[in-house]
Chain A
Amino acid sequence: MADVFAALYFHILRHNPLDPEWVDRDRLLLSCGHIAPVRYSAMAYAGYFPIEELTTLRKFGSRLQGHPERMRLPALETTSGPLGEGLAQGAGMALAAKMDEAQWRTYVVTSDAEHQCGLHWEAVMTAAKFKLDNLTCIIDRNFIQIDGSTEDVMPLEPLAEKYRAFNWEVFQCDGNDIAEFITTMEKAKEVRGKPQVVIAHTLPGKGVAFMEGDYRWHGKPPDRRQADEALSELSAQRELMVKHDG
């Protein structure tokens, strides 16, 4: 999801890191709060707080709580972690924007597994009822959850058809391809009269051979040796890309 957050913070969102409470900013909610570290990193590089602060993650007194807390870091827009709640709050914000005739948009990043929560579908219904075309839900469709494959734990497919049946406009893209993700998000923004979902197909652990697609890495950090191995593999790929681009 690093690719998705990079695209959001450096291209898609209308925001100002120096004025996080700017009233006309786009709202970005992270429903699957457990992936907060990737959002924190993107926020640090975007200028919301010093990059060095990232090392305080999950430590006592840190603004970077294990799961996002708006009262400690207002730019997070909400407090999240208990799954299935983000779209409901996002729908509330998008509806408030409609009531106020405001132009900002609401984006909600969700995991695929949290689509097993009933509340998420209450929100899907509600957003369609109120024709919240200023609301885009992004799904990290990586097919993994703590206990295994989403399709073994509690099947979600056909996911796109489910959203269509609920009167949403559905887009799909490669979530690890930044350019493709941005183009898809731009198309979604043009939709009128309906909320949009972007099913971003992602490969968990992308670029690190021993992590790719393995659900066991879902909730566990690498040790020092594994981290070094992963980082050297990623930087080798980066160098190749830089050379390729010329």
Chain B
Amino acid sequence: MQPLHLVDLETAKLELVATRDGFGEGLIAAGRANPQVIGICADLSESTRMEGFKTAFPLRYIEIGVAEQMLAAMASGLAAVGKIPFIASYAMFDPGRSWEQVRTTMALNEMNVKIVGAHAGVSVGPDGATHQAIEDIAIMRVIPKMTVVVPCDAIETHKATVAVAERWGPTYLRFGREKSAIVTTKQTPFEIGKAQTFRAGNDVAIVACGILVYNALQAARELAAHDGVECRVINNHTIKPMDEQAIVKAARECRAIVTVEEHQVHAGMGSRIAEITAQSHPIPIEFIGVQDQFGQSGTPAELIEHYGMGTESIKNAVRRVLKRKPGS
């Protein structure tokens, strides 16, 4: 197995960087690598971090105003002529508001557009429920031909941005607003569609995506220290096409799974894992995520805790699933 070069969370000082910052830098790198990469933004260039690209490549940056349906449909037109548009806004509106344009003009029409959903999850914080996208993975993963990527930290978001620019196809790239823990390094490999085992273990597999991968690692560390339970932690950054092999292997070897995502548990990443395991290796699963509710204002930490996605909640889910594990 390729070495992962992860941050040693036991010894290293915790570094916090927003995933959106990784996107901003990644887009500049993608723009340098390919002159067909263009940026289109719906009045949020600073907060989505498309600003850097705008400064670096002013002639390849298009400001569209507050018009997210236009953002999607126009990008499809640009892609038809060979451009590789990255379209940025908050995930709630892009793709939240533009779903039908994404489906018809981008997916059915097979256009090479990259949808950039910033400020995803309840960790947007004080903006409240209207701006907290927690249904976006569901509405994107259901569309044929769509790729869905949810990187775990700023460094991985940088790599994911470059990778989706290089790889042909309509793609949804999701990330958050708040500063979050850095768990990977520049040397950590990244490949779309390849889940990574960030921690070895065979008692329970915790399959996580996005910034909650850090919480999953923390939970696993504490469970090992206090409960003597060894969890496998999988960074499942590609929701579609999902690494089915890695999921089935985890199901077979650990025989119990906890899924962790900053999204509704209905129809999200965890649901996909249930679909895969139900068909090939049925095992008990506990789902960490928002339980069919809307968010609200609060600090990101408060909200992650309140909606049951904190480290304690993950540990409790592991304990519950252990009791349901066959032969336990």
Interface residues of A (CB under 8 A from B): 27, 69-71, 77-82, 85, 88-97, 99-100, 118-119, 122-123, 125-126
Contact = CB atoms under 8 A, between A and B. Distances in A.
B77 A90 contact: yes
Contacts of B105: 78-79, 85, 88-89
Interface in B61-85: 62, 64-65, 67, 69-70, 73-83
Given A78-B76, A92-B74, A85 B81 contact: no
B38 to A, nearest CB: 8
14 contacts: A69-B108, A71-B110, A77-B80, A78-B77, A79-B105, A79-B108, A81-B104, A88-B73, A90-B77, A96-B80, A122-B70, A123-B73, A126-B64, A126-B67
Contact of B78 (A71, A95, A122): A95
A145 B244 CA distance: 48
A126 B100 contact: no
A119 B73 contact: yes
A103 to B, nearest CB: 13
Given A79-B104, A85-B105, A96-B81, 9 more contacts: A27-B80, A80-B104, A91-B77, A92-B76, A95-B74, A119-B67, A119-B73, A125-B67, A126-B74
A167 B93 CA distance: 28
Interface of B: 38, 59-60, 62, 64-65, 67, 69-70, 73-83, 100-101, 104-105, 108-110
B70 A71 contact: no
Tell me the interface secondary structure of chain A in the complex. helix
A146 to B, nearest CB: 19
Contact of A89 (B62, B67, B73): B73
Contacts of A91: 74, 77
B75 to A, nearest CB: 6
A119 B101 contact: yes
A118 B65 CA distance: 14
A127 B154 CA distance: 36
Given A92-B77, A93-B77, A82 B70 contact: no
A217 to B, nearest CB: 26
A245 B195 CA distance: 73
A107 to B, nearest CB: 13
A85 B101 CA distance: 7
A118 B66 CA distance: 12
Which 10 pairs show the lowest CB-CB distances between chains A and B?
A92-B77, A88-B73, A96-B81, A89-B77, A122-B70, A92-B74, A79-B109, A122-B67, A92-B78, A93-B77
Given A69-B108, A78-B109, A79-B104, A96 B78 contact: yes
Contact of B80 (A80, A82, A93): A93
Contacts of A100: 81
Given A79-B105, A91-B77, A119 B110 contact: no
Contact of B59 (A88, A93, A99, A122): A99
B186 to A, nearest CB: 33
A122 B80 contact: no
B108 A119 contact: no
Q: Which of B64, B65, B100, B104 has the most CB of A within 10 A?
A: B104
Contacts of B100: 82
Nearest to B107: A79
Contacts of A93: 77-78, 80-81
Given A92-B74, A95-B74, A122 B62 contact: no
Given A119-B69, A126-B64, A88 B81 contact: no
Nearest to A71: B110
Nearest to B70: A122
A100 to B, nearest CB: 7
Contacts of B83: 96, 99
Given A85-B104, A92-B75, A78 B69 contact: no
Contacts of B79: 92
A126 B80 contact: no
Contact of B70 (A70, A77, A88): A88
Contacts of A96: 77-78, 80-83
Nearest to B85: A92
Given A95-B62, A119-B101, A78 B70 contact: no
Contacts of B80: 27, 77-78, 89, 92-93, 96
